[in-house]
Amino acid sequence: MKDDTTKGLACIGVGFLGIFGIVVGTLFNGWSLTMLWNWFIVPLFDLPAMSIVYAIGISVLIGALSRPPEVDSSKKKETSDLIASVLTNALLRPLFSVFFGWIVTLFL
């Protein structure tokens, strides 16, 4: 009985982690797109700055139209692997994009 409870709680935790990853990933992708747009596109093409709301909408649109990454379903993933994957996709990818974009702005 205790093992079933633990599995159930783990399943709920992974579900909340997935929801957290989607929300935070969407916000971070929108922020990242806003920063990169305002650094590179606005000065180059003399276009208006993009607000984060529009950037979130565009990143959601791009995500809906792009092909999802391939998942190897033959291996059972551990919870720690799922947490690392969510953190990488939701937080680190947009942060690294902005960081490297900032470095490029130093050469403009």
**Does a structural domain hold residue 101?**
yes
Evaluate whether residue 33 is within a structural domain: yes
Looking at residues 68-95, what average pLDDT do you find?
74
CA distance linking residue 107 with residue 68, whole number of Å: 34
Q: Is residue 74 part of a domain?
A: no
- pLDDT higher than threshold 60 for residue 89: yes
Can you give the pLDDT at residue 57? Answer: 95
Residues spanned by the domain of 33:
2-63+79-105
CB-based contact 65:40 (threshold 8 Å): no
Whether residue 54 lies inside any domain: the answer is yes
User: Is residue 46 in a domain?
Assistant: yes
Q: How many domains does the structure of the chain reveal?
A: 1
Give a yes or no: residue 47 inside a domain.
yes
- Place 22 in a pLDDT band, splitting at 50, 70 and 90: confident
Structure tokens at 86: 């969510």
Residue 86 pLDDT more than 90? no
Query: How far apart, in whole angstroms, are the C-alpha atoms of residue 18 and residue 22?
Result: 6
Tell me whether residue 27 is in a domain: yes
58 in a structural domain: yes
| Structure-token pair, residue 17 | 């982690």
